[in-house]
Structure formats: C-alpha cells, structure tokens
Amino acid sequence: MGYMNTAPIPPSADEPRWLTAEEQRVWRSYIEAATLLEDHLDRQLQRDAGMPHVYYGLLVKLAESPRRRLRMTELARYAKITRSRLSHAIARLEKNGWVRREDCPSDKRGQFAILTDEGYEVLRRTAPGHVDAVRQAVFDRLTPEQQKSLGEIMRIVAEGLQPSEAGADLPWLR
C-alpha cells in the first residue's frame, strides 16, 4: 500500500503506475531530508533570530530589493506563498518592528512591505549563523557535482509547479 509495486504485473489503464522500489527509496529520502531540513532551519532561526525560516526568507527578499521594498503580491510570488499567508506574516513582522507598510501611490489598492533598519540589523546579525547552518546541513556534505545536480533537479521541479507557468491557463494547448 502507499507507493508499493510488488506485483510483477504490466501497467494497465486502470491499474495505477505505482512507484518502483527504487523510486520509493528516492521519494522517501526526499521527504525525510526535506522534513528534517526545514525543521532544523526553523529551529535554528527561531532560536537565533526569533522567527521561522519563511519569515527570514521574506526579510532577505526585501533586503535584496531596490529601496528595500516590494509590493505584497510580488513578495508573495517570490517567496512562493499565498497572499493570505503573507498578510499574516507581515503583520507579525510589523509588530516586531522589522517591516513597515506604505501605501502605493500609483495603485491605491497596493501596499509596499518595507524592511526597517531594525529588520536589516536583525538580518546582519543573524545571517552568518544561518549560512553556517545551511552549509553544515547541505553544501559541506555534497560534492561540487552533487551541488550542481541538485540545482538542476530542483529547478526542473520548481518550474513544473510554478502557478505562473506559461500557458497554464490554456492547458489544452500544450
């Protein structure tokens, strides 16, 4: 059950294409690593920066943006999260004084999320520790070839899941 394919039966129309034993091992390794890694980084950042990994990522995106600001929707798209989730997250970061909002002059619906100096300072203080954690957990353990391979693989998977995939709204044309 689950992902098994024990029966030596050729795939038929209604019999689903179960994962092979080897595919299962790959998938399980992926799930385990992804779970452990996110957990590890969440804990590390919660301890050292007082926020979960996703929130940290939001601050990073803002810090990298011109004038340290982004429109809410844009930030949500970059971070691969929903606007709803972003609304909650920014509300929390605002309470911490790490982000502030500003109305968009050209679009009265719009809001900018802006990294404050305090927010920047938190990032400056905690970034080294976080990079270390990422190195220790991932890069230091992989050969250069594996790093390259990981990049390619994840790029492919990410592209396949982008909601903004070209022609995503016209699937019958693909």
Partner DNA sequence: TACGAGTCCTTGAATGTTAAACAAGAAAGG
Partner DNA sequence: CCTTTCTTGTTTAACATTCAAGGACTCGTA
Output 91 or 150, the one with its CB closest to a second copy: 150
Which region, judged by CB under 8 A, interacts with a second copy, from 57-65, 93-101, 104-112, 166-174? 57-65
Q: Determine, following the binding rule CB under 8 A, whether residue 3 of this chain makes contact with a second copy.
A: yes
User: Is residue 98 a contact partner of residue 59, using CB atoms and an 8 Å limit?
Assistant: yes
The contact set with DNA (CB under 7 A) reads 39, 42-43, 46, 51-52, 54-55, 71-74, 81-92, 101, 104, 107-111
Residue 170, amino acid: L
User: Is residue 75 a contact partner of residue 113, using CB atoms and an 8 Å limit?
Assistant: yes
- Strand locations in 24-88 (E): 69-71
Q: Determine, following the binding rule CB under 8 A, whether residue 76 of this chain makes contact with a second copy.
A: no
Distances (CA, A) of 155 to 58, 143, 159: 20, 18, 6
Map the footprint of a second copy across residues 105-134, applying CB under 8 A: 120, 123-124, 127-128, 131-132, 134
Q: Looking at 50, 102, 103, 157, which residue binds a second copy (CB under 8 A)?
A: 157
Which tokens belong to 16? 């689903």
Output 73 or 103, the one with its CB closest to a second copy: 73
Nearest approach in angstroms of CB 37 to DNA is 12
User: CA-CA distance, 81 to 54, in Å (whole number)?
Assistant: 9
User: CA-CA distance, 40 to 46, in Å (whole number)?
Assistant: 10
- Tally of residues, the chain: 174
Nearest approach in angstroms of CB 70 to a second copy is 14
- How many residues contact a second copy, by CB under 8 A? 63
Q: Determine, following the binding rule CB under 8 A, whether residue 87 of this chain makes contact with a second copy.
A: no
- Other CB atoms closer than 10 Å to residue 139's CB: what's the count? 13
DSSP structural state of residue 98: S
Q: Looking at 8, 17, 95, 169, which residue binds a second copy (CB under 8 A)?
A: 17
Q: Determine, following the binding rule CB under 8 A, whether residue 169 of this chain makes contact with a second copy.
A: no
